[in-house]
Structure 1
């Protein structure tokens, strides 16, 4: 590839291509999103591979299949350490060795204890391996997946919609629709990135929601799967409710203990839970410190009375919890706020 500086620049550019390829997939959960670029010894791009979901070829294999015999002596630039285990597909480290790849540049090491070890296997076989290139950018591809593996529970995103005075339902319980069609479409994009959508029995009985990703054919990204629907609570829901249709599988969890609910998710292989309705269930997770991200849609409207978006346990202003904001955007007429719950009480202002 010429000079060391030239090689580094070429591989960095290839890693950005690999990251973009992985990002083009809405979700590969319960697997990670991964991209791979194969380069010739001269630094020319041979192939771009990506992983599209469980049971499909991993990114390295996808790229190798495109390159064929030309992969011998190539450099594989991959966003995640090649796996070393056999699951639904074979180990990527072995596939790279069999193809004759001479060098592997990876961004994020694999946090999955069942799959890690690919880099060591490659090095032991004489392949040059370099790790850490654009590691932070690559890690952003799979924040929820990595969290689930390192914490032993799914990542929880709580979404709510409310008026400017913080109400998510009118006094009669009606809540459709507080926010605009643009906001509701935006929600579909986020739902597509989760592998479970969760609501309480009260919200299901009140709104009869589908709890699915809708208008998937119109989403500006490839999408051909539905998340698991999870309904939490002990109240009976009639079988004719839409949450029991054949569009997606549904799991009933007869508990309001967040730890028990998440344990059931783990049993079902869930990595990222989209918590959407209602305020009591959201409050239980909030009070337990089990909300990892908040996405709020605020409509430019007032109700004056009704039901709050969250039923928490705060008694005084000392219980106020801060939100670390990551993004504020206008979606149609509404405002979308994305943040992370703070883990410490807000300091008293002077």
Structure 2
């Protein structure tokens, strides 16, 4: 029997790329999203290999009902992926309370609701929360989204420890994404004069989807996708003050495209019905089709070992440079009577001079 997977936020962007990849493996996939029109497109394309439900993941009763109906239709899921998100690209001072709450509810509480539903029904398997490298290093003009992704990190860590304590055979993982070419930048609420773009380097959604599949296949605690995510996560650990200044100067401009008119509304309150179900956004010409997906824990260990080896090597070099040269050691052994003179020259104490003399006598010099 094929696996049953749920993808929340699966009608577009990274979620849609994950749906396609799972279906290519022969899995049955349930897709949850707000936009009924895009869900109908997916059903028309894949038929009974998919099960869809229009629901707002920020609303727990809707997610709870969708999960119960899916279990009644197909059975308990083996995998649950939370990929739904919302954002507003705006200075924090200009963002309304309602906008900030909406982004937080859709991005953070949507993930919370997905995990709650998954744990109510799953007996074993994988829950994967799609995060962002911005959860380690925030960009300006993305405060609501960045805050929500930080919250996803902490929430996931807490629940993971609870699952370990309970002994439940469910792995919960995080996949931290770089900038990805998704429809997000076509329909996000935006206060820039220009259309927003992902901050380069940009990756195609399939790169992100491979990171999600790695988390499932390898039971990874955390996966970092793309070299940009690796550099951002570990670079910020070493030099957060540098990133503060650099992003203050360039962070907004990195998100601004050269398009001044793109003629589309936003999806903050309601989905856009005239946008097709697709993974890719409008920046195919800038996006990379290949990118790494690495186990974050293994990468941390490798860097720690490499750092320890570097420190050890530096210590050895410092010690070697500070030690007496072989010629000096030979000269001392050939002329033990010079201990007094040598000690005086190097500033030895009486105790040190006596110690050196005893060492030479014991060695037979």
Superposition TM-score, scaled by structure 2 size: 0.28
Query: Which structure has the greater CA radius of gyration?
Result: 2
Is the strand fraction higher in 1 or 2?
A: 1
